[in-house]
Amino acid sequence: MRFWRFTRGFFLAEIREFEVLFWSIVFPLLLYVFLSAVLGNDGKPRSMSFNLAVVNTNPASDETAIFNQTLDAVSGAEGPFKVTFLGSSEEALEALKTGKQDVVAVLAVGKITRSRGIPISLHSISGKESSQVAANILELVLEKTNLEIERHRNPAFQHIGMAEEAVTVSASSPKVAYKDYLFPAVALMMMLSVALLNSPLSLGFYRSVGISRKIFTTPLRPLEYFGAHLTKLLITMLIPLVLLYAMAWFIYGVRGGIFSPGFFLSLILGMVTLISIGLVIASVAGKESSVMVIGQTLYQVLMFMGGFFFPVMGLPWSLRWLVYVVPTTYLVELLRRGMGIQTMDMATIWLILVPLAWVIISMSVFSRNFSKVMGNE
């Protein structure tokens, strides 16, 4: 009973701090929403659309019917162009300059002959990326149209035959949505914040101001104190994790085995690994300022070199060695494989052994400094 009362007081004292509440709970959830919205597009395909102004001085010509058919094929719901027919080149170019149109196609004035073809002038804005892209796409479309016309008119026309075939990794591997890819990363990010910042800071603060020594004048023993600290950490990790689960399940529709036993075991391994690293920080850092410097540095390295938000296996070797050293690389990959997502060509056993090695080394260092960390020297 004494243990639980102390744990409750320990937890309430920490959760009342705004920094703990924000960085451990609010910020990771906001980051998940932001990155899912910006990079994930909620799993919906992105559309590409350009405004095309057409000036046709020969609308009734049989030859320009070919051009009109081409426009029909690349506009509307299925095409990238939204076509507007204008009466003069001056009007179309003015719309282009004011940004109302991305590209302008002007059919030449005068009679169109079969030998001369259909002369078309394309106008775009130099230096404007969307205008240049729209002009390039339209030029490719018209070149394709020219080839098709020549192929039908000339029986001896020789062409290169091409066949497209999509290659898939496996028949059962679905397309990975970024919100699914991101879920394990945000879960580990929540644990990182608590384990590398909250945990060593609270231990260091209680030790530096003498609270630990006063606690040990009561019947509470160092192991009970340490157990209460660990329990408080787990509760602080579980609260944002439950909120993340609720957001991912009900708002973003994340499924992919996040409630499977294997996924939960991977989360537990992540908690144990990161908490052990935080205890090492508390044991080697003498001051709170040192805890902040070491904790923040490791926080950034473990997060970005661990491949939380983007692939890291393509980094140059000057940085990639960190990818293989940090445990978060293996933890996030292990969690993603629990969801059916694989980003690394590595045996699963290594994804377990490397974090366990970190736990063993970290706890060995911490055990040697246990009395120092508890403030019971």
- Among 49-53, 54-58, 229-233, 338-342, where is mean pLDDT lowest? 54-58
Strand order in the sheet with 81-86: 81-86, 50-55, 103-107, 120-123
Q: Are 7 and 161 in contact (CB under 8 A)?
A: no
When pLDDT is cut at 50, 70 and 90, the band that residue 127 belongs to is: confident
Q: How far apart are CA 333 and CA 185, in angstroms?
A: 9
Element (H, E) at 333: helix 328-338
Query: What number is the average pLDDT over the span 237-242?
Result: 94
CB count, 10 Å around CB of 198?
Answer: 23
Does residue 204 or residue 352 have the better pLDDT? 352
Domain spans of the chain, in order of start? 2-42+174-374, 50-153
CB count, 10 Å around CB of 295?
Answer: 25
> 131: Cβ–Cβ under 8 A, 6 or more apart, which residues?
96, 102, 103, 124, 125
Q: What is the pLDDT of residue 204?
A: 85
Q: What is the pLDDT of residue 139?
A: 85
| pLDDT reading at 40 higher than 70 | no
When pLDDT is cut at 50, 70 and 90, the band that residue 166 belongs to is: very low
When pLDDT is cut at 50, 70 and 90, the band that residue 99 belongs to is: confident
**50-153 — its CATH code?**
3.40.190
Q: What percent of the chain has pLDDT over 90?
A: 33
The helix/strand/coil state of 106 is strand
Of 13, 141, 123, the C-alpha closest to 67 is: 141
- Among 188-192, 251-255, 370-374, where is mean pLDDT lowest? 370-374
| pLDDT reading at 112 higher than 50 | no
Q: What is the pLDDT of residue 272?
A: 97
R_g over Cα of the chain: 31
**Which of the listed ranges 121-130, 210-219, 227-236 does the model predict with the highest average pLDDT?**
227-236
**Which of the listed ranges 54-63, 64-73, 254-263, 308-317 does the model predict with the highest average pLDDT?**
254-263
- Among 43-47, 125-129, 288-292, where is mean pLDDT lowest? 43-47
Structure tokens at 319: 């940085």
Q: What is the pLDDT of residue 63?
A: 57
- Among 16-20, 59-63, 261-265, 284-288, where is mean pLDDT lowest? 59-63
Q: Return mean pLDDT, the chain.
A: 83
Q: How far apart are CA 103 and CA 136, in angstroms?
A: 10
The helix/strand/coil state of 122 is strand
